[in-house]
Structure 1
Amino acid sequence: MRWLLRKCTVCGKYTLNQERCPYCGGMVKVPHPPKFSPQDRFVAYRYMIKYEVKSFKHVIGKE
Structure 2
Amino acid sequence: MKWKLRKCPIDGTYTLKDNCPICGSKTIVPHPPRFSPEDKFVKYRLEMKKGRKLNC
5+ long unaligned stretches in structure 2: none
Aligned residues: 52
Partners of 1:35 and 1:3 in 2: how far apart? 12
- Give 1:6's aligned amino acid: R
Partners of 1:11 and 1:27 in 2: how far apart? 11
Q: Partner of 1:44 in structure 2? A: 43
- Give 2:10's aligned amino acid: V
Q: Partner of 2:28 in structure 1? A: 29
- Give 2:17's aligned amino acid: N
TM-score, normalization by structure 2: 0.77
Greater helix proportion: 1
Contact 1:5 1:16 in 2 (8 A): yes
- Give 1:11's aligned amino acid: D
- Secondary structure in structure 2 of the residue aligned to 1:47: helix
Q: Which of structure 1's runs of 4+ aligned residues deviate more than 6 A? A: none
Partners of 1:43 and 1:8 in 2: how far apart? 26
- Give 1:30's aligned amino acid: V
1:11 aligns with 2:11: yes
Partners of 2:48 and 2:9 in 1: how far apart? 21
Taking only the aligned residue pairs, the percentage that are identical comes to: 54
